[in-house]
Amino acid sequence: MTKQLFIIRHGKSDWSSPFGSDFERPLNKRGRRQARQLGVWMVAQGILPDIIVSSPAMRAKQTSELVNESLDMVNLCWQEDLYLAGLSTLLNITSYYLQDYSNVMLVGHNPGLETLLEAICPGVLPVTDNGKLLTTANLAQVELEVAASTPFKGKLLRLIRPKDIS
């Protein structure tokens, strides 16, 4: 069975924010703009997930909400263990939501999201000049073969960075 996984790394965060913890760090102006642009671009491309599963960290939460404004309010849920999740947790979360949904969007953080993308899409993936796979406000669209007896096998359909749509 084929399903779609959309992976979004949160938008650019505000390192000058007075908030004390990493969890509370919000998006900066550029990050908010990137998230809005990504949502508008997704609608124009006909990309509409069934559910958005997001880390509840402020920058991921804001990214999810801003993208979702353009998507006409897709089902949005906060998944506590998405915050700084590793590969095993990300695979478990993905598997859980793909049981009920065909098009799942994860919004979270690096390095976990890059590790997830590399694990489900083996081979050479397009990186930036400085070696990053998922930049901030980056969208990876993956077609997944989901079978009960095997790990996910995915094909990267597209990797969209903010510079590609601005």
Tell me the per-residue pLDDT of 85-116, one tens digit each, with 9 for 90 and over.
999 999 999 999 999 999 999 999 999 999 99
The whole-model pTM stands at 0.93
Work out the angle between the directed axes of helices 58-70 and 29-45 (0-180°, nearest 10): 40
**Which neighbouring-strand residues pair with 13?**
27
The pLDDT-based confidence of 17 (bands split at 50, 70, 90) is low
Domain spans, the chain? 2-165
Which pLDDT belongs to residue 30? 94
Q: What is the CATH number of domain 2-165?
A: 3.40.50.1240
In tens, the pLDDT along 125-159 reads: 888 888 889 999 999 999 998 775 556 789 999 99
Question: ∠ at Cα 90 (88, 93), nearest 5°?
Answer: 110
Q: How confident is the prediction for the chain on average, in pLDDT?
A: 91
